[in-house]
Amino acid sequence: MNKYTNALSTVLAAGTLIFTNCSNVDVNKMAQEQGMTINPSPLELHGDSVVFELDTKLPPKLLKKGYTYDVVVQYNPNDAEPIEVGVVSFNGDDYADSPEATPALNERMAFAYEDKFERGQLEYLGRATKVKNQKVKESNEGAFAAMPNNQGQGVITTIKNVQPTFIANFADHGYNNAEEYIPTNVDFFFLQGSSVLRSSEKRGAEGKELSNYVSAKNPTRTVTITGSHSPEGSTEVNTKLANKRPEAVQKYYEYLLKKNKVEEETAPQFVTKPVVENWTAFKAILKDSDKFTDAEKDEIMSVVNGSGDFVSKQLKLQSLASYKKLFRYVYPPLRNAKSEILQIKEKLTDAEISARAASIAEGQMALDSLSSEELLYAAHLSSDLAAKVKIYEAAIRKDDSAIAHNNLGATLFAQAKQGGDVMALVEKAIPHLETAAKSNSVPEAYANLAGAKLMKGDVAGAKADLEKANSSNPSVAATANAVKGYVAITEGDYDGAIQYLSSAGDDATVVYNKGLAYLLKAEKSGANDFSQAQGAFNESGTEWAHYGLAIVAARKSDAATVISEIKAAGELKTKAAQDLEFFAFFENADFQAATK
């Protein structure tokens, strides 16, 4: 039960009467012993409605047969016309001449909330009616009066403390700052049974390519040389050839390094790999060859794919009519050493990229001094939000990319979260986010737009944009859950809000909203355990979180903590002076001082 409504049996100012002569009864005067309790009190807003329970009963020996007594309940806002909420009816035929008080009738009542209803008073009147033959013969009613003991005085609107969440979702800049390589392939071929690298190979096209590459002193990470053999000879011989052929190429490469005076510390790492008794390359060459009929190919493949070891298969191949063609067209390319050389791609350092980007942003260097990806990467590297804005603006001038537009909008969000003019920065971000969204290539743009629309109060628009975002992206998923959590709170679905917000990241506002959902859930259920709300508020650390902690303290009647947390809530402290969450502290001098 709400702490403001200890179960009261109170004397009402209106409503009960002695049924002797209905027309002569003073309803207000005779209602001295009726009991009534409102829970919660003050009233509370959850979702879009104010729901409360009214318990009321009548004293013994009061009702007579043929009579009814109604308690009519209305809510009377300070700044609007009263609205009828409900009626509790007692039938005299059920309780006539009862020596005991009537059983308490419990009625669940509700009314749709409007902002103008926040301050007001729940009121009631008593109405006596004589009924005969199902027709009203006489009726007498009192005047509306406030609920006793200040029950139902105003509406607590803590649910409206939910804060819209706008998370800055940056699209990937597309730049790879890791070491990258440019591959160069050089193949050398050997005579049957030989591992000697012939002069003709060194002077040939492949040899010249390797010589030119080394003489250019290209920065190289690795040289991987793979040696192979044709299907001839013993396993011992084939293994030796597959190992010696790469060694011959490595030796020649090292000669070229020395000849061109390449420093040892910049020399590449060599990796040699033998391929022994493997039919993969054989099959590929045979498949692509036009020197064999389909029947010959089938015959050869039946041997290769058949039973037996490598040596036995090569002996079977020698017995085929097509063997001479195998020896001439297939075997020679297999007697090789293939080299893959990984040249290190030249790149600017991060510091060089950042320096150029700063100059470009200030108009001191041409836009083509960096690629689009490098410019976007420079913005990513910068921790200065104002500098990021300028770099993204330069990126937009360069190629008007969707990523640049989205990331500029996200940076404006980040500025807003650091204490800038929130709505002005959000409004400035929206056109860029809309431009990015039109490309349908940047899902982050729709997530950012959802946050922007939530800030403007357009919940439906925010939900629609989230439908267009790709929630498989972790940051987009976090934004989606943050928005869904916000909406769930406004609808009074606190369990749903907690579930969404628990998967919405660690943004301070997200964590605060989760704490608020825990608080509202406890308030709605009448629970006294606020530990989960406190934990989330402490983790968030925002001014709204301190305000939430003050509400928790008020619910626990902890005046000292209420005051200390209100002081920590910054400008929100003045809100507390009128917040019915702190109704019990309105007369506390220290509370009054803290809220000024």
pLDDT digits (tens, 9 = 90+) for 560-571: 999 999 999 999
> In 329-396, at which residue ranges do the beta strands (DSSP E only) sit?
336-344
- Whether the ω angle into residue 42 lies within 30 degrees of 0, i.e. cis, is yes
Residue found under tokens 């910049």: 266
Using CA atoms, how far apart are residues 586 and 579, in angstroms rounded to an integer? 9
Long-range contacts formed by 449-453: CB under 8 A, 24+ apart: 450/479, 450/480, 450/483, 451/164, 451/165, 451/166, 451/167, 451/413, 451/479, 451/482, 451/483, 452/166, 452/409, 452/413, 452/426
> In 324-471, at which residue ranges do the beta strands (DSSP E only) sit?
336-344
pLDDT digit string, tens, across residues 408-446: 999 999 999 888 899 999 999 999 999 999 998 898 999
pLDDT band at 33; cut points 50, 70, 90 = low
Using CA atoms, how far apart are residues 459 and 465, in angstroms rounded to an integer? 10
Over residues 75-79, mean pLDDT: 96
The DSSP 8-state label assigned to residue 23 in this structure reads G
pLDDT of res. 266: 86
Q: Quick one: CA dihedral 289, 291, 295, 296, positive or negative?
A: negative
Maximum CA extent, the chain: 133
Structural contact between residues 530 and 522, judged by C-beta atoms closer than 8 angstroms: yes
Task: Indicate whether 9 pLDDT > 50.
Answer: no
Radius of gyration of the chain from its Cα atoms, rounded to whole angstroms: 42
Using CA atoms, how far apart are residues 516 and 140, in angstroms rounded to an integer? 47
Using CA atoms, how far apart are residues 500 and 424, in angstroms rounded to an integer? 28
pLDDT digit string, tens, across residues 465-499: 988 886 677 778 999 999 999 999 999 999 999 99
pLDDT of res. 62: 67
Using CA atoms, how far apart are residues 126 and 74, in angstroms rounded to an integer? 12
Structural contact between residues 345 and 181, judged by C-beta atoms closer than 8 angstroms: yes
The single-letter code of the amino acid at 25 is V
Structural contact between residues 322 and 299, judged by C-beta atoms closer than 8 angstroms: yes
- Start-to-end C-alpha separation, the chain: 31
Task: Indicate whether 340 pLDDT > 80.
Answer: yes
pLDDT digit string, tens, across residues 161-177: 999 998 999 999 999 99
pLDDT of res. 34: 61
pLDDT of res. 24: 37
User: Among 130-139, 248-257, 271-280, 397-406, which stretch is predicted with the lowest mean pLDDT?
Assistant: 130-139
Location of each CATH 1.25.40.10 domain in the chain: 350-541
Location of each CATH 3.30.1330.60 domain in the chain: 181-344
pLDDT of res. 382: 97
Location of each CATH 2.60.40 domain in the chain: 22-156
Label the pairing between strands 269-274 and 220-227: parallel
CA distances to 283, 311, 313, 320 from 278, in Å: 10, 11, 12, 20
Angle ∠(217,222,223) on CA atoms, nearest 5: 85
Mean confidence (pLDDT) of the chain: 90
pLDDT of res. 105: 84
3-class SS of residue 348: coil
Relative orientation angle of helices 494-501 and 508-525, to the nearest 10 degrees: 160
Task: Indicate whether 42 pLDDT > 80.
Answer: yes
Over residues 113-121, mean pLDDT: 96
pLDDT digit string, tens, across residues 169-221: 999 999 999 999 999 999 999 999 999 999 999 999 999 999 999 999 999 99
Structural contact between residues 322 and 296, judged by C-beta atoms closer than 8 angstroms: yes
* HEC-encoded secondary structure of 565-588: HHHHCHHHHHHHCCCHHHHHHCCC
Task: Indicate whether 112 pLDDT > 80.
Answer: yes
Task: Indicate whether 297 pLDDT > 60.
Answer: yes
Q: What are phi and psi of 338, to 5 degrees?
A: -100, 130
pLDDT of res. 137: 60
Task: Indicate whether 447 pLDDT > 70.
Answer: yes
**What does CATH list as the number for 22-156?**
2.60.40
Spacing of C-alpha 216 from chain mean position: 50
Over residues 35-48, mean pLDDT: 92
Whether domain 350-541 has CATH 3.40.50.10490: no
Query: Which architecture characterizes domain 181-344 according to CATH?
Result: 2-Layer Sandwich (3.30)
User: Among 7-11, 117-121, 387-391, 455-459, which stretch is predicted with the lowest mean pLDDT?
Assistant: 7-11
pLDDT of res. 470: 67
Task: Indicate whether 276 pLDDT > 70.
Answer: yes
